[in-house]
């Protein structure tokens, strides 16, 4: 029995080399697909390919006998070219029996169908294994591509590329390997039989029919290719806009933009509608032309045979035979037209998938990269320079150190390069100059997997998987058991809220975690990081989007998580980093100030200015809050800090 194969990278061929395949060809596509159809490490799949070909050839040979059984039965029924058979010559009677010949016609057709379906069943695992493996490789490769690649593209468009590419692979594998070449063989054999059974005029008429038929199919299909490309582009655009709008559901509601979004989506679907109508119309034109061409060829051969029957050179059985042979020819010929159309369309669908596979990963491990060994957790930036675009530098030679077990905070105005530092530390981008060292090891010289396994991240905008709370917490360390997951939640101060929910840890968080409040999502992110237990921690404005009360609650959990860990804190609210061992103030990509909170206040520079502005803003908010409180009943209950799970619990009760 075939066993599912894991994708740990050991048995996965390299992605297609050579960069973009903007105009993929059939031969190039087959060359890339062959390692998956004939995998070197899967003898069972190779044997399935061999047996499929044997069954296919057997089915084709039996197919050739069907028209002859039809002819013999017809001649036997009409008495053509037969003489009376004596009763004692029973074996000759059996051979010439119209009933037996008619029955043999049915038997051969049944046998042909059985062999064909048996072949398809055996080859199904080969085809779907190739589809699965290449789709998985593409999915893995998408994750290996840089953050820059994903920021430049829309998620909905990428998922459609993967979906259509997967379907295109299946079409090419099944049709080319099992249908195209055997069909060509069948057409050749049929032409040989026509020459043997009749004469050269039938072969010439048939060859002309095939040539005109295939030429017309080629011209019409090439015309339809442009229509299909336009239809695919319109489909991708409509799908992308739908996903983008639904992901921004709340924003649409905030601005009462339902009508505008519907019009925007309808405009894309209208383009898809127009392209689809053109595609169906062109298909009708193609099918009509093919039917006319073949019918003319069929009529020509039957007229020649009818003349032969009238002249006595052919029998009625020959007339039936030539009709059956031509009808037999029509099936593979029509299939070849369909194969050509489907393959061309599949190549269109798969070419973008190959473009993704052909795109080189921007961030790669060095050939001799070794796993990162974190002995203490000392982090150092040495004259680091970086630019997203060469003409607009972001970091202009910054140097600082985060000693093992200490906390260093980075602050500064928007656009100063704070979040860029965390992205560079994770190697989501590579620096343009300088070095980033962890315990003296350049992060460009270690494996990306070991680097990211040693760093924990609590981001500003926590995005959760559309699954359970337990799943999202366990994402920090997949081999953790339930007790460890729940302990991490307790340390992140979310265990109490989770247990209040009707489903507890099995509560679904919704798309991107939208069923949870901001504070709850942040606590899940903290629990996930606690479970990961990394030696180095990065907090990228982890509380900037929360209210003051929730911020204090979350900050307490963050302080416990970062204790005795090397921590790099990127902060927007300065009140959260007053206890940092060192504060670095960035301005326009350079370090403007550095020191402790007290020291920076004494200096009276940029940090002190930012601190004073934030204090003034907080004082104004507190004053407004007191004024609001004085106008309300003094005995009112304070609102819960995090209300999403509490609301679920209340609803259940």
| pLDDT at residue number 88 | 45
Asked whether the predicted pLDDT for residue 634 surpasses 60, the reply is no
pLDDT band at 452 (very low <50, low <70, confident <90, very high): confident
Burial of 625 (0-12, 13-18, 19+ CB in 10 A): exposed
| pLDDT at residue number 466 | 85
d(CA 208, CA 486): 76
| pLDDT at residue number 2 | 39
Average pLDDT over residues 565-579: 84
pLDDT tens sequence across 497-540: 888 888 888 888 877 677 787 778 888 888 888 888 888 888 88
103's CB contacts (< 8 A; 6+ apart) are: none
Asked whether the predicted pLDDT for residue 83 surpasses 60, the reply is no
For the record, the structure tokens of 562 come out as 């970062």
Asked whether the predicted pLDDT for residue 437 surpasses 90, the reply is yes
pLDDT tens sequence across 390-426: 888 888 889 999 998 888 999 888 777 888 888 899 8
For residue 350, give Cα distances in angstroms to 36, 155, 275.
Answer: 15, 18, 19
Give, for 532, the enclosing helix (H) or strand (E): helix 518-532
| pLDDT at residue number 155 | 54
pLDDT tens sequence across 56-80: 778 877 887 777 777 777 777 776 5
For residue 492, give Cα distances in angstroms to 434, 562, 617.
Answer: 36, 12, 29
Residue 559 backbone dihedrals phi, psi, to 5 degrees = -60, -40
Task: Using DSSP, state whether 437 is helix, strand or coil.
Answer: strand
pLDDT band at 90 (very low <50, low <70, confident <90, very high): very low
Task: Using DSSP, state whether 245 is helix, strand or coil.
Answer: helix
| pLDDT at residue number 547 | 62
| pLDDT at residue number 269 | 85
Angle between helix 43-78 and 181-197 (nearest 10): 30
pLDDT band at 380 (very low <50, low <70, confident <90, very high): very high
The distance between the two most distant Cα atoms of the chain, rounded to a whole number of Å, is: 127
Of 352, 130, 142, 343, whose CA–CA distance to 235 is shortest? 352
| pLDDT at residue number 399 | 92
CA–centroid distance for 289 within its chain: 38
Answering whether pTM is above 0.75, one says: no
Average pLDDT over residues 604-627: 79
| pLDDT at residue number 91 | 42
- Ranges 469-478, 546-555, 620-629, most confident: 469-478
pLDDT tens sequence across 118-148: 888 888 888 888 888 877 877 777 777 766 6
Going along the chain from its start, the domains and CATH numbers come out as 26-358 (1.20.1560.10), 379-630 (3.40.50.300)
| pLDDT at residue number 381 | 92
Asked whether the predicted pLDDT for residue 635 surpasses 80, the reply is no
| pLDDT at residue number 108 | 82
Asked whether the predicted pLDDT for residue 607 surpasses 80, the reply is yes
| pLDDT at residue number 446 | 92
pLDDT band at 23 (very low <50, low <70, confident <90, very high): low
Question: How many CB atoms within 10 Å of residue 378?
Answer: 18
Tell me, what DSSP letter sits at residue 396? E
Average pLDDT over residues 471-493: 86
| pLDDT at residue number 382 | 92
Asked whether the predicted pLDDT for residue 442 surpasses 70, the reply is yes
For residue 280, give Cα distances in angstroms to 182, 224, 227, 228, 273.
Answer: 29, 10, 10, 10, 11
d(CA 372, CA 365): 12
DSSP letters, 255-277, are: TT-HHHHHHHHHHHHHHHHHHHH
Pairing of strands 407-411, 379-389: unpaired
Asked whether the predicted pLDDT for residue 632 surpasses 60, the reply is no
Of 72, 51, 41, whose CA–CA distance to 121 is shortest? 51
Q: Which of 120-134, 175-189, 234-248, 394-408 has the lowest mean pLDDT?
A: 175-189
pLDDT band at 183 (very low <50, low <70, confident <90, very high): confident
pLDDT tens sequence across 278-287: 888 888 888 8
d(CA 457, CA 431): 19
| pLDDT at residue number 112 | 83
Average pLDDT over residues 71-98: 56
Contact between 464 and 513 under an 8 Å Cβ cutoff? The reply is yes
pLDDT band at 438 (very low <50, low <70, confident <90, very high): very high
pLDDT band at 640 (very low <50, low <70, confident <90, very high): very low
Asked whether the predicted pLDDT for residue 496 surpasses 50, the reply is yes
| pLDDT at residue number 383 | 92
Instruction: Look at 106 and 544; give whichever has higher pLDDT.
Output: 106
């Amino acid at each position: 029995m075939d066993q599912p194969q894991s994708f740990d990278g050991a048995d996965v061929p390299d992605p297609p080399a050579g960069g973009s395949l903007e105009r993929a060809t059939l031969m190039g596509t087959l060359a890339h697909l062959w390692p998956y159809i004939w995998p070197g490490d899967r003898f069972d799949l190779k044997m399935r390919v061999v047996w499929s070909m044997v069954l296919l050839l057997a089915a084709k040979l039996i197919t050739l006998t069907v028209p002859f059984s039809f002819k013999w039965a017809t001649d036997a029924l009409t008495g053509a070219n037969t003489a009376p058979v004596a009763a004692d010559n029973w074996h000759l009677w059996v051979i010439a029996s119209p009933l037996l010949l008619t029955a043999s016609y049915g038997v051969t057709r049944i046998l042909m169908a059985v062999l064909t379906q048996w072949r398809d069943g055996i080859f199904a695992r080969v085809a779907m294994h190739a589809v699965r493996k290449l789709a998985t490789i593409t999915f893995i490769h998408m994750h290996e591509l840089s953050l820059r690649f994903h920021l430049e593209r829309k998620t909905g468009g990428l998922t459609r590329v993967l979906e259509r590419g997967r379907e295109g692979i299946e079409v090419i594998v099944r049709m080319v390997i099992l249908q195209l070449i055997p069909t060509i063989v069948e057409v050749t054999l049929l032409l040989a039989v026509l020459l043997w059974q009749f004469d050269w005029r039938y072969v010439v008429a048939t060859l002309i029919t095939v040539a005109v038929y295939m030429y017309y199919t080629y011209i019409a299909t090439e015309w339809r290719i442009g229509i299909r490309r336009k239809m695919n582009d319109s489909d991708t655009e409509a799908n992308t806009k739908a996903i983008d709008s639904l992901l921004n559901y709340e924003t649409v509601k905030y601005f009462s933009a339902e009508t505008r979004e519907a019009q925007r989506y309808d405009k894309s679907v209208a383009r898809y509608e127009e392209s689809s109508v053109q595609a169906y119309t062109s298909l009708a034109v193609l099918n009509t032309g093919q039917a006319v061409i073949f019918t003319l060829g069929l009529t020509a051969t039957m007229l020649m045979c009818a003349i032969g029957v009238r002249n006595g050179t052919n029998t009625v059985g020959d007339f039936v035979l030539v009709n059956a042979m031509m009808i037999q020819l029509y099936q593979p010929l029509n299939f070849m037209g369909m194969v050509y159309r489907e393959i061309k369309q599949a190549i269109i669908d798969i070419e973008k998938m190959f473009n993704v596979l052909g795109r080189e990963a921007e961030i790669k491990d060095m050939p001799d990269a070794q796993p990162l060994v974190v002995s203490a957790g000392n982090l150092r930036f040495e004259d680091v320079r970086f630019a997203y675009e060469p003409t607009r530098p972001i970091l202009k030679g910054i140097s600082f150190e985060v000693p093992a077990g200490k906390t260093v905070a980075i602050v500064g105005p928007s656009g100063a390069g704070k979040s860029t530092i965390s992205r560079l530390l994770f190697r989501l981008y590579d620096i343009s100059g300088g070095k980033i060292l962890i315990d003296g090891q350049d992060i460009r010289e270690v494996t990306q997997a070991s680097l990211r396994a040693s760093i924990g991240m609590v981001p500003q905008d926590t995005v959760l998987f559309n699954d359970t709370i337990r799943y999202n917490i366990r994402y920090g360390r997949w081999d953790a058991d339930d007790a460890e997951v729940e302990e991490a939640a307790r340390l992140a101060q979310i265990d109490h809220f989770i247990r209040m929910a009707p489903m507890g840890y099995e509560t679904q968080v919704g798309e991107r975690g939208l069923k949870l409040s901001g504070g709850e999502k942040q606590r899940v992110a903290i629990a996930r990081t606690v479970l990961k237990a990394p030696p180095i921690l990065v907090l990228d404005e982890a509380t900037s989007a929360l209210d003051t009360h929730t911020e204090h609650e979350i900050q307490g959990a963050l302080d416990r998580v970062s204790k005795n860990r090397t921590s790099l804190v990127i902060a927007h609210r300065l009140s959260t980093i007053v206890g940092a061992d060192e504060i670095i103030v960035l301005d326009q990509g350079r370090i403007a100030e550095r020191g402790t909170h007290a020291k920076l206040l004494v200096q009276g520079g940029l940090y002190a200015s930012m601190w004073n502005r934030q204090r003034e803003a907080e004082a104004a908010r507190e004053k407004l809050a007191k004024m609001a409180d004085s106008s309300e009943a003094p005995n009112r209950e304070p609102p819960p800090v995090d209300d999403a799970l509490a609301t679920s619990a209340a609803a259940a009760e």
